[in-house]
Every structure is written in structure tokens, then in C-alpha cells.
Structure 1
């Protein structure tokens, strides 16, 4: 009986030691960041598209900064952070969608494209250069200027979610 007790106690202690040495990291934001990473920098994303929205660069850059501040515990540096986000807006265009009778579009699509260079100074294998696009459709009876203020923030939100997932969340 004592022998069984000692064996069972040994197994429990061994399992406890193994479990204690394993580190499982959970995050409710989806962030998967190495403990070595403490800071990030987001450089201004200039608008290099043919059609220019004068506020797009500023709004996109600020939204990306805010997302990183809200969903990570990293500190922001103006430059040379452990993680660096830089790039440019390469596309801002409207195209007709859902063509109806008499070759008239029922919907138009506003698409924004961003070219991103992501640098992880703590783990260069995580570095990424990728293009991201997102869009919103709107009724063809509405002009772009009438719907732009409502569509652009939604598209920026989608782009930032995709960028966050591809870089910080490692999806």
C-alpha cells in the first residue's frame, strides 16, 4: 500500500514539474508576440495612388497605430521599434460591379490597396513584405463623394485587421 502511494505521489510530482515547465501563452486580442519584443514603430504611409483622398494617409497611419496600442502591450516609438510597420497606399479606385441591363452598374466598389513592409528586429524570420487590399460596395446612384466618409473608415478597419493578423497574430 505504501509502495503504491509513493509511486502515485512520484507520478503526480513529475507531472506537476512537467506542467510547470511548459509555458502556454493566451491572448484575448489574438496577439502572438515574443516576450523579447517591447516596442513598435509605425511610419507614415504616403498615398501614391492615382486617385488621391487627402486624408487617407493620415487616417490609415493613425488607425494602425491605435490598433497596435489597443491590442498589444507594446510601447510605441517614433522610429526604430522592435517591430516596424512602413509602406505606402498604392491604390484607391472605384470600379463598377454587378452590371445590369443596358450595361449600367447596380453597384460600385471602392478598393484601397496598401503595400506593407513589416520588420521584426528581434526575429528577422518574421519579416514580411505584402500587399493588402480591402473594399466596400456602394449603390451606383450615389457619388463617391457622398459615401466616401462612411466607406473609407470601414475599409481602413479591414486593412488593419488583415495587417494585424498577418504580422502580430501570425495567421
Structure 2
């Protein structure tokens, strides 16, 4: 009788230790809609398969890739890529940040190049070098200057103190 109890306690302790080793996403913002179930997803934005991705939420050798909905935090990571929907990322210093997907929210301190391919994404940053925007209804807020801005989409809002070179190949985009 003592042996099964001891085994159960050992398994429970191991499970607790393992969950502390990896980030656990908090889950999608809308519990009724999950990636891959065919509901509330824009099929025009391709999402890579899980087999193509590195472990979610970990910066390894300066690179991180996130595919699962949830909340993630980074201090310094040279390159971060989101490939999914309903992902929330807070990061400090990033050289290259890429969003491929819909309804993602990103808060950054400093980023060299931000590329957004998808719809209804929201990104806020203090500093941004270049922004390449491919999609619709995205909102980008920059507290300082954007040196280079390219838009290929419609109904996007880009708010910055100052914007350098602008290429706008869409309709109804607001830049200012």
C-alpha cells in the first residue's frame, strides 16, 4: 500500500518540477476559439505547422519562435518570430521581430525591424528603425521616429512622432 502512494507522490513532484522549466501559455483570449479548429480564423494568413517551430517562448542562440496562443516575455533576444494567432509578447531589445498571423499583441522597448504579415495585430514600441506592414487593420504605435515605413494593405493605423521614408501601396491607411 505504501509503494503506490510513494509512486504517486514522486510522479506529482516530477510533474511540478517539469512545468517550472518551460513557459506555459495562459491560453487564448477567447476560450471558444482555438487555432486549428476552423473557427474565427482568416485563412489568408498561413500558419506554419508545429513541427517547423522551435520550443515556444524560449530564446535559444538569440532566436525565439512562438506558435501557441498565450503570453510570453523576453528581455534581450536578437530575433523573435510569431507564427500564429492570439499571441501576446512583451520584449525589451530585439533586432528583428516578425509577426505572421492575426490578432496578436506586441509591446516592445526597442526593435530594429518590425515586419507584420496578417490582420488585426497591435504593436507598441518606444523605438523602431523600419516597419514593413502586409495586412489589414493593424495598429502600430511608436513613441519616437520610424526611419522607413512600407505598407501593403488597407485600413492600417501607424502612429509615430515622426516618419521618414513612406511607401504606401494600400488604401485608407493612416500615418501620423
Instruction: Bin the TM-score by the shorter chain.
Output: under 0.3
Tell me the TM-score normalized by structure 2.
Answer: 0.27
Tell me the TM-score normalized by structure 1.
Answer: 0.27
Instruction: Please state which structure has a larger fraction of its residues in helix.
Output: 1
Higher RCO, Cα 8 Å, sep 6+: 1
Structure showing greater radius of gyration is 1
Instruction: Please state which structure has a larger fraction of its residues in strand.
Output: 2
